[in-house]
Amino acid sequence: MWVNINESFASEIYQLYALVLQVIDGRSIFYYNPNKLECSWQSFQQHNLTTQPQWVWRSQMPYALLKEQQASELFVLACLPERFNMNELAGLTASLSHLRDAPVLIELTSSSLLLSSIKDSLATQILSYCLQSYMLNVALYFQDWTSPVILYSFLAFPNFSLIKNRFTSSSLSRQGGQLFPNQLNNLKGYTLRVMPDFSEPNTILYRDALGVTRIGGFMWNFIDTFAKKLGASLSLVHPTWRPGRNLGEAYMLEFTKNGSVDIGLITVQVAERYRNRYYQYSYPIVYGSWCIMLPLERPIEVRAVYERILEAKALALLLISFGCYYLSFLLEVVPFSTWIRYCCCCLRLTPRLLALLVVCACQAQLFSLMIMCPGEAPIDSFDALLASDLRIFGLRSEFDSLDGDFRARYAAAFRLTNNVSELFKLRNSFNTSWAYTITTIKWVIMDAQQNYFQSPLFRYSELCLTHNYPFSILLSDESIYHKSLKLFTMRTQESGLLLHWMKQSFLDMLKADRMQLKDYSKPNQVQQLRLQDFQIAWLCYGGGLCLAVIVFAVELLRFYVNVCLDSL
C-alpha cells in the first residue's frame, strides 16, 4: 500500500513536470533554494533540463543581479521549507526584481504530516504575499509522499481567491493544459485607479450641458479603451494640486511609487538623465518634439515692395551696359579694324535688350508682389528670435528643465509664468503677440482648428527644445500592467487608432468650451494705393530726370564751350 502511494505521487510529479517542460520551452531557468533542501525536481533537473541556461541560487541573500543577466523569458523553480519565514519569500521577490511576471512553481518540503487546513493556510499566506508583490503567475504544492499532489494557485481579480486542485490528467484537461493562465485576460470589474494631469488635450475635465462632469482627450480615450479590453473599470483620482499650476512629473511619481494610483496619466519624456526611473515609465505612447509655435511672418510694407522690384545687382548691371553703350560711340571715331567696329555695334544693341528685359521683369515682379505680398524674413534660429521683437510665452517649470547653457544664452527670449491656465488661454485664442512652447501632440489640435481659418496664423517652427522624444505615462516600479499596456500601445499605433484619438481631441476641446469654432484670423482687406505709396517711385523718377538734365546740360556745355573758343 505504501509503495503504491509513493508510486502514485511520483507519477503525478512526473506529469506535473511534463507540463512544466512545455512552459519552460525556450526559457531560462532560475532555481531558488536558500536552505539547500532536497526537492523532488532536482533529479528532473539533472536528466531533463540540460539545454536551457540555468541559475542555481542557494543563499539567504537575494540575487540582485538577475535582471541584469537575464535577457530572455524566465521560469522559476523555488524550494522552501514548510516552516519558512517571510525573509525567504522576500528574498525570492527581491531576486525577481522587474521579472515578477515570470511563472513560479514553489515546492514546500514536509518533514511531518500536515493537516489539510494547515496546508491551505500556508498556501494562502504564501500566495497572498506573492499577489501583494505583483507576482501573478505562481503555483505551489507540498512534498508529501503519503498523499496525492494538490496544486495551489489563486485568482487575483477582482479579489484574492485560493484555488486548490488535485493534479490529475482530468484536472489538467479542464484547465485547458495551462499551468499559469493569463490573469489579465479578464479583470472582472477590478478598478484601475488613474490620476490624470488635466493637461489639454491629453485629458480634459468639463461639464456637459446637463451639468454632468465628464473627461475627454485622447489619453483618456486611450486608457478607457485599455481598461475595457482588460474587463476593468476606471476610478478617477483627483490630484491635490492648486488650480492654475502645472501638475509635474515628480508630483505624479510620488503617487505611483506609494501605490496610491495604478497609472499616472501624464505624458512625460523619458530623459537619459533619469535612467534609474526606467521601470516607472510605460512603453512610449507617442513620439514627438517640443518646439516653438511661431506667428506667421507679417507682410512687408508697400515701400519695401518697390525696394524688392529692382535689386542693386540688376541696377548695377544695367548701368554698366549703358556705360558700354556710350563707350561704343567713343570707339567709333577711333580708327580700328572692322571686327572691332562690329563689336561696337553689338554693344549698342545690348543695353536696349537689357532695358527691355528689366522693364518686363520689373513689371511682372510688381504684379506678383501686389497680388500676394511677401512676408518678413522668417525666424529660423533662436538668435534671430532674440534679435526680433517677438518673445516666447512659456511655463517657468518647463524652462527650468532645459539645459543650463541654453537658458543662460536665450533667457531674454522667454516670458515665463507659473499659471498654466494663462498659457492655455493665450495659446488657444491664437494671440499673435507671443510665440508659444508646444509639443507635437498639442500642435495637432491647433493645426486642426486653423483649417477653419481664412488664413493660418501660426506655424510649427523648426526651433525645437527637444527632438523626436518618446512620451510615456507613469506606472509603479513592479506594475503588473507593463506588458499588457505595451502590447495595447503597439496595436493602437499600428492601427492608426491613436492618431484618430489625437485628432478627435479637437472635438473634445470644443465640447469642453476650451476652444471656439471661429475664425481668429483677420480677413484680407484690399486697399487702394495711395500717393505716399508711390514715394519711392516718384523719387526714382525724379532722380532719373535730374540725371538726364545734367547729362543734357553737359552735352550743351561742351558744344557752347567749343563755340566760344572758336569765336575768340
Do 26 and 172 lie in one domain? The reply is yes
Helix (H) / strand (E) element for 321: namely: helix 312-332
| Per-run averaged pLDDT (10 residues), the chain, 568 residues | 49 73 78 83 63 80 83 83 81 89 86 74 90 90 76 89 74 57 88 87 84 88 94 86 62 83 85 70 88 84 65 67 63 55 63 69 67 73 88 87 86 88 85 89 87 87 85 89 93 91 88 83 68 72 83 80 72
Q: What pLDDT is stored for residue 467 in this prediction?
A: 82
Asked, for residue 325, whether it belongs to a domain, the answer is yes
Which of 41, 56, 176 is CA-nearest to residue 108?
Answer: 41
Contact 219, 202 (CB under 8 A): yes
548's CB contacts (< 8 A; 6+ apart) are none
Q: All 3 cell numbers of residue 207?
A: 461639464
Q: What pLDDT is stored for residue 486 in this prediction?
A: 93
SS3 letters across 349-413? HHHHHHHHHHHHHHHHHHHHHHHCCCECCCCCCHHHHHHCCCCEEEEHHHHHCCCHHHHHHHHHH
CA angle, corner 228, sides to 226 and 232, nearest 5? Answer: 100
Query: Any bridge partners for residue 393, and if so which?
Result: 415, 436
Q: Give the C-alpha separation, 250 to 436, whole Å.
A: 24
Contact 294, 390 (CB under 8 A): yes
Tallying the residues shown for the chain, one arrives at 568
CB atoms within 10 A of CB 256: 22
DSSP 145-171: TTS--EEEEEE-SSS-EEEEEE--HHH
Of 350, 371, 392, the residue that ends a domain is: 371
Q: Give the C-alpha separation, 432 to 419, whole Å.
A: 19
Do 25 and 172 lie in one domain? The reply is yes
Helix (H) / strand (E) element for 216: namely: strand 213-216
Domain that residue 536 falls in: 531-559
Beta strands at 213-216 and 204-207: parallel, antiparallel or unpaired:
antiparallel
Where residue 147 sits, what CATH number does that domain have? 3.40.50
Which of 472, 495, 497 is CA-nearest to residue 485?
Answer: 472
Helix (H) / strand (E) element for 123: namely: helix 116-132
Contact 395, 246 (CB under 8 A): yes
Residue recorded with cell 508682389: 369
What separation in angstroms does the CA of 527 have from each of 83, 218, 247, 530? 94, 44, 49, 9
Do 19 and 162 lie in one domain? The reply is yes
Q: What pLDDT is stored for residue 396 in this prediction?
A: 87
Q: Give the C-alpha separation, 45 to 29, whole Å.
A: 10
Q: All 3 cell numbers of residue 163?
A: 484555488
Query: How many domains in the chain?
Result: 3
Do 6 and 137 lie in one domain? The reply is yes
Contact 158, 118 (CB under 8 A): no
Q: What pLDDT is stored for residue 4 in this prediction?
A: 42
Residue recorded with cell 523619458: 270
Residue 455 in 3-state DSSP? coil
Asked, for residue 196, whether it belongs to a domain, the answer is no
Q: Give the C-alpha separation, 282 to 129, whole Å.
A: 25
Asked, for residue 432, whether it belongs to a domain, the answer is no
Query: Any bridge partners for residue 140, and if so which?
Result: 106, 152
Q: Give the C-alpha separation, 239 to 47, whole Å.
A: 57
Asked, for residue 153, whether it belongs to a domain, the answer is yes
Q: Give the C-alpha separation, 78 to 108, whole Å.
A: 9
CA dihedral defined by 483, 485, 488, 492, rounded to 10 degrees? -130
Long-range contacts of 146-154 (CB under 8 A, 24+ apart): 146/5, 146/9, 146/113, 147/5, 147/9, 148/8, 148/9, 148/12, 149/9, 149/12, 149/13, 149/16, 150/119, 151/16, 152/119, 152/120, 152/123, 152/127, 153/127, 153/180, 154/127, 154/128, 154/130
Omega before 470 within 30 of 0, i.e. cis: no
Do 26 and 153 lie in one domain? The reply is yes
Do 15 and 157 lie in one domain? The reply is yes
Rounded to 10 deg, the angle between the 482-495 and 218-230 helix axes is 120
User: Cα 244 vs. chain centroid, distance in angstroms?
Assistant: 24
Asked, for residue 412, whether it belongs to a domain, the answer is no
Asked, for residue 313, whether it belongs to a domain, the answer is yes
Q: What pLDDT is stored for residue 33 in this prediction?
A: 87
20's CB contacts (< 8 A; 6+ apart) are 75, 105, 179
Asked, for residue 489, whether it belongs to a domain, the answer is no
Buried b (16+ CB within 10 A) or exposed e, 14-49: eebbebbeebbeebbbbbbbbeebebbbeebbeeeb
Q: Is 391 left (phi over 0), alpha (psi -120 to 50) or beta?
A: beta
Helix (H) / strand (E) element for 505: namely: helix 497-511
Of 138, 161, 184, the residue that ends a domain is: 184
Of 184, 206, 232, the residue that ends a domain is: 184
Asked, for residue 154, whether it belongs to a domain, the answer is yes
